[in-house]
Structure 1
């Protein structure tokens, strides 16, 4: 349709200033904007998706791209009642919940509630910036959207980032997939809205500039001479035997393909390096540094130790220190690094010259247009509901997935797997899932998906025994990687469904003598179908229960620069790797989810990936935080990583209990370090029990409880007790899982989700809610036997182990003996717990004990279904509602809603009342206050 033929339009003038033409359409308003600069938008549409979801699309030309969204699952929306009117200098769109005002002169959008309070506002001047660009030989656009933000606003989400930051206000986030980073471009505000940024490419929140070489700063050696830092190279790892000294104006040894040279003869494997001197700047203000490094490193600024880190040599990580500098000032710097064949780079940014204190922005490298959804709700749960309305609902995970997973890198034989599971059962340590990591195949057959017969003589029999004798499930690692010459490689290669650059460059991997390999292209429908068929024929038909999809960034070769990495996985079937950079795991998960649902429509899919992207939850995909290391600092960082990941809309997250990578001092089980190793694993396990998924995994030493410590050791006792607690809580946890699917709930909850009116929780990065009842406070320091806990205001709290009552809105010093981490229970909570069990589906008719924490009204719904199939999609599930009235001091067990095959018709409930004057632990040995038999009809129980 030609613009001139639009049914309704208005040509608006302010003096002689041409402003806009607009058309009311069935689902929104289309605008033609005045394009004053090449970077302005020309067409814009404000689409009304629902009463609280508004989509904004802004194009640099008079058309909108028809390129389909990968994240959005819902592209056709039900009609919504809305209206439009022209007011002064803006167009106003109204729904039942929102008002949206579009400035006629600039196209700037403002979102308001029904009382005309501003929720979110685009920056009025140059709010949308669409810059022509050429990326990977494609003519495209860089896009950037600016929003105003009040000073007291906090921001969360954006996926999982290993930076320890809870609130991203005032911080920068560079978003592209990495081993320990998960990208979900959904930004959630403390003001109860979210911005879903529909773009697949590299994206930045905040400062978009690229870090630059420190050679642009003023550098002085240790004697004060300008020109560079003093670099001392040592032939040992203890900084004693000096090999050579030179002056260096930069530290750039970051990548395989782009690197400065070391002095001739220096050994990166046996040596060490110390940089010393001073730095200064001609620019006044806060300078941001990016310190990217692996192996052992320490960094001092002005004599203060600001980095003390260890990472595996092949997996560097980023530290982001800042230094406020004035022209003429000098700041001392010292870096000590033991490379062990690792990587290091130090770069910086000058102070930003624009006032960004009350402005935020989102930027993407490759785009046809700006495309974002404004998602509003009365609370953050409703915001996440909106995210899942757009990107897809989360299916039910199998119930067994809520139990303990045991893994290691890796079980080498069939006998190892069976003997480990037998040991769990003999010791009565609850477990549900044993995980087979990589390398179960013959060394040169990566991608064949076949067990090596000499080590796994009867994989089908092994899986059958796991199922029938041990009531245990098997998850298996499957990579998107194929060795040249394997049958599966040849099939995909002959159809042009593999990336070719890694092979053409003759890149060998790290296995044995090194083998040539590449990854498949999941952006091709044909490739996804073949990939699944190959897995189905070799693994699924054996009885495998779940899929561990590793290396889904895709990490085709570690430690490549980003441009070279994109070159290795380009082109895709849909376009350049730059355009689709962050979506590989989404499409790979799609291959397995859709494939299994066709192969066996009744068996629930369960997928674990190392990467995530918006919408991935619809493919029954959970994510773990990648190859983090066994350090206390990494344990603490997992908390904020998991919380921001979860608030980004994907509900199932976990980490490697104890950390994947292990220092030699732990590997060798040195006597002076073994107790720290045991305590670290214990504290990590205690934290993980209150995560959506409970997964023990890592390199040697082995991570089974009985391999970490002997039976009489407090570490063994504590981990066993917490494992048993997890299984006691199974009715609560599986009900939370039901809430995820039925109500778009989030299990692992940043405090802002439940206590958004208490601004003191905005930056707390080491406390969270596990469901509606439990305030979890992990212990993240060696030998700590207490920790500070903030109890959010607006409610009272009961201490988990004693039942002691505390008022909210205060900090307390909570006991943290080796055996326990501090947990508090919110008043008004009803927690259903089951009997002691060894696997999740054991004793389905067991007595359920209801712990009722009085002081406020409360409710909880007990969800049950058939645990392993998709009959719940046909309505086959039940809910038993519990409601407590503080005024009447009465617990109501409501009438059962729904039914399913095998449902326990008659249940016994035991009631334990916890009050301010009658304290009591969440204790299963105590005599309950009363017991009732429930046959599906309503029961009222009075507090006595």
Structure 2
């Protein structure tokens, strides 16, 4: 509700025929929870059944059964809400915290259309269909709802509660690119049902949170507008010839979206944050390196690793403790009730305060993993249960853990109370909130199963989980953020496996989940990361090197993996948050010093570049907070007129000056990519049903029959307990065997490679012939056999497998004729040269050589192992700092200020105490740098503001780069806060 208009409620008249003692509806058309209230009669008096009513902040229309509000929330931001006259929300929006704004507008009835026109936005409503079109103040069209069917709304009952199933459709321009929706489920990409593309045109997306998918229901357009759908259920987005459509399973308020426009995409991001909340600043050390693994087993080990980083001189700011620091179970055994109870194992972590103190003495911070599932035997569980604030279904990871109700304010307060007492008060600096999708069952990669798992929780404090399927992550991070802000002046930094609209206001950065190491996965992180940050959620990261490393036997001992890790690390140096994490293998960067010196040198150069860039990065983080900036940027955000950048998936801007083009293919250790899992569409059981028929046995040699199964595809990975369900009929993940039978149908004619990949023993039969046999214990390996097949030909399959101990996997795979042809093509293009498209609208400089390159063309350079292609936009000011072991080590060190000629430039240096929220009270300092390219003058402005501990005097080494090289030696300036001008 618009509370500024509450005084007008009493003035509303109610029709005499509906006498009631109920309070009259609000003039704004919104109730006390901010949801649509119908103010118009159900019978229409105007031609065609169209009626409307002007509201103080917009208009309400009725067309047939549909009531539609169009409400101004800003000069170019409007909310559009449509339903069938009833609103079934019981609570305010979880996402939008803004209220309608008193925007002056004209309402004009044009006969066939109704027009709302403010100074900056015009909305035309078609009286025949009710569809809306949106134009700027000069009449230029942004977009329009589909004229034929702007929305579809159907009343439904879900979980014994009334709701709507809805969709709404926009007609996009032919050359319009659209971005956003977050990091889309990687599993669906692997299955071939989605594509890892930045531009969402002609894509179909399932919008459900998973382990490897962070959904944010925001679409951003190159036409300088965005759409935020304020709906929380399972959703689907589809763009095709009929338009761009969002469907929602349960939308109790009907169609509800916010149209946000501006002169550029940064304006749209600003409008989004006006609606959903600003992004507070992180501590400066959050922009250093994070070292994480699954897991450090004892407090002695985590401190040892931290000390080794310092002894080896490899920069590090955060070290991370993953799960099971609370104790209670061993791998492969039954987990007890201590799960994520905010307690410490007295045997392995006996002195948490001493541990955190030792880490702090190294000038590092400690981040720690917590989960929404809480062990039954903990004081936290007891207090939650006393108020009925845990859900009944057991969390799959433990037979004694259940998920707490983060939709309850009391639940969030209790949860945080134990977080504070058990962790923060012991010296923990940051929270890593894992499984926040929310994860219930073990199939947390499969969106269909995730939907069923979350719905199985029943009702939360706000309603049924069908309507509240996706935003658990927002609620739980909101609770810990509010708790920390209420009890400390220390800046909050939270890592969460899932994200939702509004997450930025809770200081939550998301990551892409438990991804698998491969070059394809690395490529997906680039487009996937930008698809998160462009929605207005500025901070994102991923597991450098991949969480699982199944395709590189030997892990860090495998030179092919070390090359991948190096390139991933280089990309991570330009993520908003730089974080190494994974399981099974060692990946602390210092181990490569002896193992592979060229790799170590490349890693060291990348991390040192990250730390040298801190004056640039930290100053831009201030712009994120103060001016709604975005650090990791789609190229179209900065080059809107160059349509060639619309579909570039593997390059991005890091701030206004740097174009980053990570290397995403092997150059030194070329190996064939893994054969693809054979899709279920080409498999049939012996009775001609989709999939393969399977039979499990206890014992390695088919001794005791267990459960039967039909597998849609044969692709099983059973990590060690507690990370997997047992196969049907088995009670152990060790020492079992299995057989599968069926047939394969060839989709095209040509030569195929059909193979098996597995750990321990496996055999493959084709048409009854044993073609592959590797019946021995051992790590994962692959064998393939070539066969020529005709399109539609059926091949009888038989697979046998036994599993001993250690890793557990088996996969039926192939290379089709098309795959084999593409592999041959790639083999012919091996080299160390990388070609980058440099957008038009600016000239560019190679960061390493200083070579100047004209924009609007491709440029090729060598990219040996220690080089990530990096280009600086002409007309840039790039401040860099010293080499450091941690981000706050040398607060008064000299800065290098490099000016790249070719256009006027501005940059604002920012400083504060790096740690507290005192900046919100004005305790910070800024220095404006301005380059006049025509006059060749750099102006260093007077320092604005101050704070305790501020560096009063700093040496600045100023360089000008033009024509491909520094024009002269660095000019040294001792800056004391007074303005300085330098002529070149």
Give the TM-score normalised by the residue count of structure 2. 0.76
Segment of structure 1 superposing worse, 111-120 or 390-399: 111-120
Match of residue 661 from structure 2: 777
Match of residue 346 from structure 2: 453
Deviation at 1:125, TM superposition (A): 2.0
For the residue of structure 1 that corresponds to 2:297, the secondary structure is: coil
The answer to whether 1:20 aligns with 2:50 is yes
CA contact (8 A) 2:850 2:961 kept: yes
The answer to whether 1:465 aligns with 2:358 is yes
Match of residue 49 from structure 1: 73
Runs ≥4 residues deviating over 6 A: 5-16
Match of residue 599 from structure 1: 487
Deviation at 1:526, TM superposition (A): 0.8
1:445-524 map, 5 Å: 445-467=338-360, 469-502=361-394, 509=397, 515-524=399-408
- Select the residue among 627, 650, 661 that pairs with 2:548: 661
Q: Distance in 2 between matches of 1:675 and 1:447?
A: 37
- Select the residue among 166, 170, 190 that pairs with 1:143: 166
Match of residue 739 from structure 1: 623
Match of residue 319 from structure 1: none
- Select the residue among 856, 861, 871 that pairs with 1:824: 871
CA contact (8 A) 1:157 1:647 kept: yes
- Select the residue among 768, 780, 786 that pairs with 2:833: 786
Match of residue 745 from structure 2: none
Deviation at 1:712, TM superposition (A): 6.0
Match of residue 206 from structure 2: 174
Deviation at 1:708, TM superposition (A): 4.1
The answer to whether 1:189 aligns with 2:221 is yes
Distance 1:201 1:3, change over 3 A: farther
CA contact (8 A) 1:151 1:358 kept: no
The answer to whether 1:651 aligns with 2:538 is yes
CA contact (8 A) 1:72 1:615 kept: yes
Distance 1:775 1:375, change over 3 A: same
- Select the residue among 300, 315, 327 that pairs with 1:430: 315
Segment of structure 1 superposing worse, 768-777 or 77-86: 77-86
Q: Distance in 2 between matches of 1:934 and 1:855?
A: 25
State the Cα deviation string for residues 6-27 of structure 1 (Å, max 9, x = none): 9999999999843322221111
Q: Distance in 1 between matches of 2:287 and 2:138?
A: 43
The answer to whether 1:573 aligns with 2:461 is yes
Q: Give the root-mean-square deviation of aligned CA atoms.
A: 2.2
For the residue of structure 2 that corresponds to 1:501, the secondary structure is: strand
The answer to whether 1:698 aligns with 2:608 is no
CA contact (8 A) 1:399 1:867 kept: yes
Q: Number of residues paired by the alignment? A: 769
Distance 1:733 1:508, change over 3 A: closer
Q: Distance in 2 between matches of 1:870 and 1:475?
A: 19
- Select the residue among 29, 46, 50 that pairs with 2:59: 29
The answer to whether 1:633 aligns with 2:520 is yes
Q: Distance in 2 between matches of 1:708 and 1:186?
A: 41
The answer to whether 1:110 aligns with 2:133 is yes
CA contact (8 A) 2:153 2:164 kept: yes
CA contact (8 A) 1:173 1:206 kept: yes
CA contact (8 A) 2:396 2:440 kept: no
Match of residue 333 from structure 2: none
Q: Distance in 2 between matches of 1:15 and 1:528?
A: 50
Q: Distance in 2 between matches of 1:848 and 1:739?
A: 19
Match of residue 838 from structure 1: 885
Deviation at 1:139, TM superposition (A): 2.5
Q: Which runs of 5 or more structure 2 residues have no equivalent in the other structure?
A: 1-11, 17-24, 29-38, 187-194, 329-335, 668-830
CA contact (8 A) 1:702 1:708 kept: no
Match of residue 710 from structure 1: 594
Q: Distance in 1 between matches of 2:882 and 2:303?
A: 26
1:284-299 map, 5 Å: none
Distance 1:428 1:709, change over 3 A: closer
Q: Distance in 2 between matches of 1:81 and 1:848?
A: 48
Match of residue 688 from structure 2: none
For the residue of structure 2 that corresponds to 1:106, the secondary structure is: coil
Q: Distance in 1 between matches of 2:441 and 2:138?
A: 54
Deviation at 1:835, TM superposition (A): 1.3
Distance 1:815 1:4, change over 3 A: farther
Deviation at 1:77, TM superposition (A): 3.5
Q: Distance in 2 between matches of 1:817 and 1:415?
A: 38
Distance 1:915 1:508, change over 3 A: closer
1:330-479 map, 5 Å: 356-357=240-241, 359-368=243-252, 369-443=254-328, 444=336, 445-467=338-360, 469-479=361-371
CA contact (8 A) 1:407 1:703 kept: no
- Select the residue among 419, 425, 431 that pairs with 1:547: 431
Give the TM-score normalised by the residue count of structure 1. 0.79
For the residue of structure 2 that corresponds to 1:441, the secondary structure is: coil
Segment of structure 1 superposing worse, 554-563 or 751-760: 554-563
Q: Distance in 2 between matches of 1:415 and 1:62?
A: 60
The answer to whether 1:942 aligns with 2:962 is no
Deviation at 1:427, TM superposition (A): 1.1
Match of residue 933 from structure 1: 974
Deviation at 1:136, TM superposition (A): 3.0
CA contact (8 A) 1:22 1:32 kept: yes
For the residue of structure 2 that corresponds to 1:423, the secondary structure is: helix
Q: Distance in 1 between matches of 2:450 and 2:352?
A: 39
State the Cα deviation string for residues 577-601 of structure 1 (Å, max 9, x = none): 111111010001011101111221x
Deviation at 1:487, TM superposition (A): 2.7
Match of residue 677 from structure 1: 561
- Select the residue among 925, 930, 934 that pairs with 1:883: 930
Which fold has the larger relative contact order, with Cα–Cα distance below 8 Å and residues 6 or more apart in sequence?
A: 1
1:854-869 map, 5 Å: 854-869=901-916
Q: Distance in 2 between matches of 1:863 and 1:19?
A: 58
Q: Distance in 1 between matches of 2:279 and 2:319?
A: 24
Match of residue 235 from structure 1: none
- Select the residue among 851, 863, 883 that pairs with 1:804: 851
Match of residue 68 from structure 1: 92
Q: Distance in 1 between matches of 2:280 and 2:344?
A: 30
CA contact (8 A) 1:850 1:911 kept: yes
Q: Distance in 2 between matches of 1:785 and 1:390?
A: 46
Deviation at 1:34, TM superposition (A): 2.1
Q: Distance in 1 between matches of 2:555 and 2:537?
A: 38
State the Cα deviation string for residues 384-416 of structure 1 (Å, max 9, x = none): 000000000000001000000011100111111
Distance 1:17 1:86, change over 3 A: closer
Q: Distance in 2 between matches of 1:10 and 1:644?
A: 40
CA contact (8 A) 2:44 2:50 kept: no
- Select the residue among 36, 58, 72 that pairs with 2:82: 58
The answer to whether 1:749 aligns with 2:633 is yes
State the Cα deviation string for residues 612-642 of structure 1 (Å, max 9, x = none): 0000110000011111111111011100000
Q: Distance in 2 between matches of 1:901 and 1:44?
A: 53
Q: Distance in 2 between matches of 1:729 and 1:804?
A: 20
Deviation at 1:73, TM superposition (A): 1.7
Q: Distance in 1 between matches of 2:46 and 2:431?
A: 64
